[in-house]
Amino acid sequence: MAISCPALLLSAPASNQGKTLVSAALARAWRNQGFTVQAFKCGPDFLDPMILQAATGRPVYNLDLAMCGADDIATRLYWAAQQADVILVEGVMGLYDGQPSSADIAAQFQLPLALTIDASGMAQTFGALASGLFAHRPEIIPAGVIANRTGSAGHGTLLRDSLPAHVPWLGALQKQEALTLPERHLGLFRANEIDDLEQRIAQAATMLTEAGPLPLPPEVSFAPSLANTTPALLAGKKIAIARDEAFCFIYPANLDCLHALGAETVFFSPLHDDALPAGIDAIWLPGGYPELHLATLGSNHAMRHALQQAWQQGLPILAECGGMMAVTNSINQQPGFGLLPGDCSMQARFQGLGVQFAELPEGRLHAHTFHYSRLETGLPVYAQATTQRGKPGEAIYRHGSLLASYLHFYFPSNPQLVAGLFSR
């Protein structure tokens, strides 16, 4: 049976318009009004969801037509409509950028669209830009516009008056240092690295509601998707997952998938712990920022020994992107854990970017890559990913019980294959 829930997709004309903080402000404003907000992020990003989780107090899931697929998106939106009072989806890049784009998700799932536009240096053109973005695809449902980085209250009024009558005004955020989020080479800082993140979100939410409570977006009807039962192929298995400031790129959907497969999951810190959790059957080293913690990583000899011992005993180990970097011999000539013969070095610009499809002997697994480092290894390539355009993508390496790649895998795309990766 279909279920209705107020829902909104927030996008922008381009990247760097402030979508994440504006999304967080919307979410917090509704949360302050007593509503349960379930947020999502278009695209395969890890960092923006951390900010949205801080704003909503709930795990944030990814929606991507290429990586996740339409059925996965439909299932998650239907689940959210049952759990929450309002659904908020943050777009990726500009509204029509990418194939598929945020606009494609808005159109396919009939999500009303709101825009945030960096209005600095802009007056009446604001209304023309908003109007044109909505008109470019007539099936898009306009839900309103938020002006970001305005110069004054008077500037906001000028922008509001430039909008056509059918496009609602949702408010403005004035340009302030406190209303920006710090960035580094892979995007925004992690949420727990921003000491005053809570104050920034709260201030932005207050600014959006100066004229009164924020109205809920239009209701959307979400239909249940076909039931797809995941067999408990990992029942009785305990998987140790690296999670700390260096290993933090974990899709919540991947954890849900492991639990649906019957696995027990436990977390450990490769940076700070001196041993692996007891009684484990497999290890997952997800991506993150090992390159920012080389001294700590290289000096943890106890963890290096524990991982090498686990590998020698044949425990399945999955190492993704930053996780793979950490298990090489070295990163920027600083010692790694030494499980994978090879060396990583950071480069000036990114070396891989986009959704890819891992073509493993066991089947296909959807994935995403975004990295600035390069791996030099003499290992033969075990399997190869392909890009969305069918071109060769990232290499996948097998070394004993270790499977390693720059890819971040999306487990729900093939749970049975994932169960095999974590089994002896």
| CATH value at residue 405 | 3.40.50.880
Q: Specify whether 185 is located in the same domain as 290.
A: no
229 in a structural domain: no
- Does 167 share its domain with 257? no
Examine residue 295 and state whether it is found in any structural domain, yes or no.
yes
Among the candidates 162, 192, 222, a domain finishes at 222
- Asked if residue 180 and residue 77 are part of one domain, the reply reads yes
409 belongs to a structural domain:
yes
Residues lower than pLDDT 50 in the chain: none
149 domain-assigned: yes
Residue at 227 is within a domain: no
DSSP 3-state helix, strand, coil percentages of the chain (rounded to 5)?
30, 30, 40
Q: How many alpha carbons lie under 13 Å from residue 184 in its C-beta half-sphere? A: 12
31 and 150, same domain (yes or no) = yes
Would residue 233 count as lying in a domain?
no
Calpha distance 403→424 (Å, rounded): 12
Please give the pLDDT value at position 47: 87
Question: Do residue 142 and residue 170 come from a single domain?
Answer: yes
Query: Do 46 and 249 contact (CB within 8 A), yes or no?
Result: yes
Question: At 14, is the secondary structure helix, strand, or coil?
Answer: coil
Instruction: Determine whether 321 is an active site residue.
Output: yes
Torsion angle (degrees, nearest 10) of CA 127, 168, 73, 369: 30
Asked if residue 156 lies in contact with residue 127, where contact means CB atoms within 8 angstroms, the answer is: no
User: Is there a single domain that holds both residue 248 and residue 329?
Assistant: yes
Same-domain pairing of 247 and 358: yes
Residues 287, 199 within the same domain: no
Looking at the fold, whether 273 and 324 belong to one and the same domain comes out as yes
pTM higher than 0.85 for the full model? Answer: yes
Same domain, 171 and 254: no
Mark whether 203 and 261 lie in a shared domain.
no
What's the sign of the alpha-carbon dihedral 386, 190, 187, 108? positive
Contact 6, 86 (CB under 8 A): yes
Tokens of 141: 């449902």
Q: For residues 134 and 142, is the Cβ–Cβ distance under 8 A? A: yes
Domain end among 172, 194, 222: 222
Question: What pLDDT is stored for residue 60 in this prediction?
Answer: 98
Query: In this predicted structure, what is the pLDDT of residue 183?
Result: 64
Residue that is last in its domain, among 188, 222, 256:
222
Number of domain units in the chain: 2
Question: Is position 162 within any domain?
Answer: yes
Is there a domain that residue 173 lies in? yes
* Per-residue pLDDT, 169: 94
Q: What is the CATH number of the domain that holds 150?
A: 3.40.50.300
Clarify whether residues 291 and 211 are in a common domain.
no
User: What pLDDT is stored for residue 392 in this prediction?
Assistant: 94
373: left (phi > 0), else alpha (psi -120 to 50), else beta? Answer: beta
Q: Which of 5, 68, 257, 321 is catalytic?
A: 321
The CA distance from 20 to 200, in Å, is 12
For 304, the domain range is 238-421
**Residue 377 exposed, middle or buried by CB count within 10 Å (0-12, 13-18, 19+):** middle
**Gap between the Cα atoms of 26 and 40, Å rounded:** 13
Q: Does residue 217 contact residue 8 with C-beta atoms inside 8 Å?
A: yes
